[in-house]
Amino acid sequence: MVGLFFVVKNQLLLHSCELSQAEKYGDFLNYPESHMEIWDKFYQKKYKVDFDYFPRGRIIYNLKEETYYIYYDKCLEESIKNLNIIPKDKKVKLLHDFHYKCHKCNKNYVI
């Protein structure tokens, strides 16, 4: 599976699809929707903040390497392995990316 996720008040909000339903992007398979699209559809009314307020990340699959890449907010460093998003018995790379910064990690975040 590939997908995207948010961590809101220690709760994992995961949206995923099987590899067969993923969108091909070069050598990668990716979840077809953005964080903003998912947030607006399911969570905006409930939490009343923008999609980038809470920590978030994305799970993609590299076809050539047969490896999952999990990009995540650095404030999830201590909890990333406990979120149950890491595929068992698969090659995985855990990575930070400047796109995944919550309001606490982004010094330029405006509330």
Report the 3 state secondary structure along 19-79: HHHCEEECCEEECCCCHHHHHHHHCHHHHCCCCCCCCEEEEEEECCCCEEEEEECHHHCCC
Q: What is the predicted pLDDT for the residue at 21?
A: 97
pTM given for the model: 0.93
Q: What is the predicted pLDDT for the residue at 107?
A: 82
CB 75 within 8 Å of CB 104: yes
All residue ranges of the chain with pLDDT < 70 are 111
CA angle (51, 33, 11) in 5-degree steps: 45
**What residues does each domain of the chain span?**
2-96
